[in-house]
Amino acid sequence: MSLYYEPIVYMIPPEEEGMLLKTILQKRMNISRKLISKLKLTEQGIMLNGIRVYISVKVKSGDRVEIRMERERSDDILPEPIPFEILFEDEHLLVVNKAAGMVVHPTHGHYTGTLANGVVHYWQAKGELFRFRPVHRLDQETTGVLVVAKNPYVHQHISEQMIAGTVDKRYTALVHGRPQQQEGRVDGPIDRNPDNPHLRMVTPDGYPALTLYKLEEVWSGGSRIGLKLESGRTHQIRVHMTYIGCPLIGDKMYRITPNDAVQRELYDQLDARMPRQALHASELSLVHPVTGERMTFYAPLPDDMIRMQELLRAQYHPE
């Protein structure tokens, strides 16, 4: 096995002749200074027409620029044969449909049984070396699309897309009650709850957070809502839905206890049938860092949310 991953290649067009290789790396290939510094230390990290050169050289039309990253592995993650669903994979990206109850990355108290353990075992079984680099996270009980970068270049590019707001993340939720409007926005800053640091809350002094929502189906017992995140705060959808009086069905952390006895009983009945928050990352769209193609990944609604949706349709008439 080669010491390096397959190279990422850039061909110099006529209009860029005479530019410094450093400029090409930073402005055309969008490689961070940190990664460039790392590539410079390796024998084949930065190549011009197959030759290792200084990044201060000037390029010519038709020159072939290649960067090669050394192969990595996650030595701190124990490989475990944990099944998971793959939505897409190439030499740069792995996109999975995360199951409910699965922690993404080992943390204190969750050293094994995570998605990372399963992915590392999967790569190992195929004789491949990659470091587990999730580009974003999903809560333990949230299902759906999750993207893993296979090298630092890809991770950097997708992270920058997220900061720029060009990664489109959409969710489906089943909630108690219904929002007042058919569609709208929840613009509420979020920060830790001072009384319970594990919880988040909307507070004027919090970090900016914006969630867009649209009602997709309404019943007397609850609603199905499509959501789009314009920011990525911890528990953002769960906090914002509770903030507007529509907590997610099954969400034990952000549950509201209604004053009305009939409504309280309805909440209890639905929550008892949904063992987790009814939230699913249904769709994610990004630009592939290497091919430049806009790609959209879909994850079907999981069985437990389908069952809850069927229950709402059958026992709680549409409004």
Tens of pLDDT, residue by residue over 275-291, are 999 999 999 999 999 99
Fold equal for 72-164 and 169-282+305-315: yes
Query: Which amino acids are annotated catalytic?
Result: 139
Mean pLDDT on 258-264? 84
Does the domain formed by 72-164 have CATH 3.30.2350.10?
Answer: yes
Confidence of residue 318 (pLDDT cuts 50, 70, 90): low
Q: Specify the CATH number for 169-282+305-315; select among 3.30.2350.10, 3.10.310.30, 3.40.640.10, 3.40.50.2300.
A: 3.30.2350.10
DSSP-derived secondary structure for the chain:
--SBPPPEEEEPPGGGTT-BHHHIIIIIS---HHHHHHHHTSTTSEEETTEE--TTSBP-TT-EEEE-PBP---TTS-------EEEEE-SSEEEEEEPTT--SS-BTTBSSSSHHHHHHHHHHHTT-----EESS---TT-EEEEEEESSHHHHHHHHHHHHHT-SEEEEEEEEES--SSSEEEEE--EEEETTEEEEEEE-TTSB--EEEEEEEEEBSSEEEEEEEESS--TTHHHHHHHHTT-PBTT-SSS----SSHHHHHHHHHHHHH-SS--EEEEEEEEE-TTT--EEEEE-PPPHHHHHHHHHHHHHS-B-
- How far is it, in rounded angstroms, from Cα 29 to Cα 52? 17
Domain ranges for the chain, please list them.
8-67, 72-164, 169-282+305-315
Q: What is the pLDDT of residues 160-181, one digit of tens each?
A: 999 899 999 999 999 999 999 9
Q: Who has greater pLDDT, 202 or 108?
A: 202
The CATH class that applies to domain 8-67 reads: alpha beta
131-150 confidence digits (pLDDT tens) = 999 999 999 999 999 999 99
